[in-house]
Amino acid sequence: MIGVFDSGLGGLSVLAAIARELPQANLIYLADTAHVPYGDKPDNFITGRVLAIGQHLADQGCKLIVAACNTATTTAIQALREHLPHIQVVGVEPGVKPAAQGSLKRHIAVLATETTARSKRLAHLIDTHAAQVKVDVVPCPGWATHVETLQPDTPAFRAEVEQKIRPLLDAGVDRIVLGCTHYAFLIPIIEPLLEGRAQLVDVADAVARQVLRLRGDSYADGKISLQATVHPERLSAALPALSLNKVARRVASVTQVSV
Ligand code: DGL
């Protein structure tokens, strides 16, 4: 069993990639919907949630846990590894390295939650992989919550996105990293603004390949269990709305969990 978690719907973008790579694995997706968003919460609160969720997934038999959340990864992945030393833990971090490698103009941007944007871990990632590249870190407060509405495409939100993206393009940014898993569901809004001047960088497929490398031996009946700390029915309703019909076909149960 492989466990995947996020504060809400964002990690479904990672779950979908894992489900594609491992069609026979049994997967649990846990959304901490009682506490979404994580991106504006204090670090100690996020760490407490990550440890509790990790334990809950381990208790259900998960041998590998994916923190499908940049905010949880930057804040608490180390604590989770120490808490569960016998479980493989995979995190999701902004794709600074591929963006820096691909940038011809040597100028990239990272869109992220406030917590990720100010984290030491992101600063370290940039120092390690993008020291020779200009990096604009752009906090996007409210964007993850907006994705949770499942109707992100409003004129007001489009205008807000444009206000963030246009100055980046004008400054010469040619790679824009989606540093929050929720933002994958904003690609239809962001992409048309780019007019070919920049490419978006999302790491969901790379994370899924890493999970395949670690647990390619996961042959079960390919079932997905959806769990949420409140309103689990919103998770199953979200799948068709987010064009995740292949994931929807594998869902075997939808439950509320108390974590
Ligand atoms: N999807 C998460 C991330 O990748 C968390 C967003 C939030 O809850 O603020 O950062």
Ligand 1 pocket residue status of 181, Cβ below 6 Å: yes
- Give the model's pLDDT for residue 181: 98
**Which domains are assigned to the chain?**
2-92+204-256 (3.40.50.1860), 96-201 (3.40.50.1860)
Catalytic residue among 80, 147, 180, 224: 180
- 182 Cβ below 6 A of ligand 1: yes
* pLDDT of res. 86: 97
CB atoms within 10 A of CB 97: 18
Contacts of 70 (CB under 8 A, 6+ apart): 92, 93, 94, 112, 113, 116, 179, 180, 181
Q: What pTM was estimated for this model as a whole?
A: 0.97
Ligand 1 probe mutation, 15, 69, 177, 185, most atoms within 8 A of CB: 69
- Bridge partner residues of 64 (DSSP): 2, 88
Find all residues with CB under 8 Å of 128, minimum gap 6, and list them.
none
Write down the residue that tokens 């070919």 correspond to.
196
Q: 141 in helix, strand or coil? A: coil
Q: Please, what are the averages of pLDDT over each run of 10 residues along the chain (259 residues)?
A: 98 98 97 96 97 98 97 97 98 98 98 96 97 98 96 94 98 98 97 97 98 91 97 96 96 98
pLDDT given for residue 216 in this prediction: 85
Supply angle C-alpha 210, 33, 26, rounded to 5: 40
Tell me how far apart the alpha carbons of residues 96 and 108 are, in angstroms, rounded to a whole number. 8
Q: Which of 4, 5, 7 to mutate to test the pocket of ligand 1 (most atoms within 8 A of CB)?
A: 7
Q: How many angstroms separate the CA atoms of 100 and 46, rounded?
A: 29
Which entry of 12, 28, 69, 177 is annotated as an active-site residue?
Answer: 69
Ligand 1 binding pocket mutation candidate from 93, 138, 180, 242 (most atoms within 8 A of CB)? 180
Evaluate: CB of 180 within 6 angstroms of ligand 1.
yes
| CB contact at 8 A, 43 and 71 | no
Query: Alpha helices of 95-251 — where are they, by DSSP H?
Result: 96-102, 114-117, 120-129, 143-148, 155-170, 187-194, 204-215, 233-241, 245-250
Which atom in ligand 1 lies closest to the alpha carbon of residue 112? 10
Supply the pLDDT for residue 124: 97
Q: How far is the CA of 20 from the centre of ligand 1 (A)?
A: 22
Contacts of 12 (CB under 8 A, 6+ apart): 6, 29, 235, 238, 239, 242, 244, 247
Tell me the sheet residues that pair with 108: 135, 175
Catalytic site includes residue 180: yes
Instruction: Show Cβ contacts of residue 51 under 8 Å, excluding neighbours closer than 6 positions.
Output: 76, 79, 80, 83
Which is nearest to 31 in space by CA: 238, 247, 205? 238
Q: What local confidence, expressed as pLDDT, does residue 219 receive?
A: 85
pLDDT of 218 reads 81
